[in-house]
Amino acid sequence: MSVEVMVGLSGGVDSSVAALLLQREGVAIAGMFMQNWEDEEPTSGCSVDADRKDAVAVCARLHINLHLCNFAAQYRTQVFEHFLAEHRRGRTPNPDVLCNREIKFKTFLEHAQALGARQIATGHYARLDCVDGLWRLLRARDTDKDQTYFLHALGQQALAATRFPLGELDKPQVRALAREAGLPTHAKKDSTGICFIGERNFRSFLSRYIPAQPGVMCTPDGIRMGEHAGVFHYTLGQRGGLGIGGRKDGDGEPWYVVGKDVAANILYVAQGNANQFLQSHRLVADELIWIAGAPPAQAFRCTAMTRYRQPPQACSVNLVGDQALVEFDAAQRAVTPGQSVVFYDGPVCLGGGVIDRSDAAFGGWRTHEA
């Protein structure tokens, strides 16, 4: 029997239930396990071997074929190299967005179609519909699990060939379905973080590729607070790992990263979760991608997210050349260059771009890049 849909099986409960639901619909399916990372460190903490075994066990339970594919070379050149380049600029990239666009919904899709499948399916929490010939990406019913933030860079061709079986479900329902069906992944813990880092310390991992250069840590007004381990290891809004203890002239509030000057190798810090140096009303984004193929207008109102699981925030968007100037109705905390800003019209994801800079109090519109 020919395969209609190739399901990307990660070895987790979400993709397992995606396959289960399609099979119950009577869809002819097969599974594909994608290995996207190879590490020379045997104790890296990346769970690829255990995940592969779980994918095999799920396919055995569902009596479907499993294809094992290694996309590590494509991942390294199309995702990981960009990840390193952004960190060298002092930015904080989001590799999941690029992985979805370049690997899961391009390389995987092309490979599945070469094997005869018409469509692919994944365990992402998102929904799709088609209006007037255009595919739309919609937020999942379970807004706490919604993953459209990471899927905003997909175009019409990818969406037309994709199915998201979990879009109408919440996580407890997914686990209940897996348990009732006897799937071996029903109680498996959700994966978190970035696969290629696994359970390792982020700082030690990054130092393998970008040598640490300790430098001065100070406040925006130049008061020295100590030394940092390398500006590449920190992100805006970060609290942990600063090593700043109590000060006689301090107010007892925790310290946070508020800026990075890569050229001068200076890390800037300030006290208080809501300090003025972390607040932004405006940002500039580039590398814009519109799911419909074009923006709704040159200037429009919408909501936007600057980080995952943030409630969408009311804003105005003005397009100037190949950039978007986004102005929020309320101040946004820790708007971070390198991360994505994603636009919504109600539940419909319009697309997004990469944050280049914001008007946070420290530094104005400067990027402090090398």
**Does residue 195 have an active-site annotation?**
yes
Which of 35, 33, 34 minimizes the C-alpha distance to 66? 33
DSSP 320: E
SS3 274: coil
Contact in structure between 242 and 277 (CB atoms under 8 Å): no
- Which one of the listed residues 46, 59, 195, 302 is annotated catalytic? 195
| Cα(232)–Cα(244) distance, integer angstroms | 18
| Cα(278)–Cα(312) distance, integer angstroms | 18
Contact in structure between 64 and 30 (CB atoms under 8 Å): yes
Contact in structure between 125 and 142 (CB atoms under 8 Å): yes
Crossing angle of helices 171-180 and 13-24, in 10° steps, is 70
Which of 337, 336, 345, 335 minimizes the C-alpha distance to 295? 345
For the chain, give the number of residues: 370
Return the C-alpha torsion angle 312, 137, 110, 163, nearest 10: 120
Query: How buried is residue 159: exposed, middle or buried, by Cβ count under 10 Å (0-12/13-18/19+)?
Result: buried
Query: How buried is residue 144: exposed, middle or buried, by Cβ count under 10 Å (0-12/13-18/19+)?
Result: exposed
- Which one of the listed residues 46, 59, 69, 99 is annotated catalytic? 99
**Does residue 349 have an active-site annotation?**
no
| Cα(8)–Cα(233) distance, integer angstroms | 32
SS3 235: coil
Which of 300, 25, 31, 2 minimizes the C-alpha distance to 185? 31
φ and ψ at 232, to 5 degrees? -65, -20
SS3 265: coil
Helices (runs of H) and strands (runs of E) counted in the chain: 10, 17
Q: Which of the residues are catalytic?
A: 99, 195
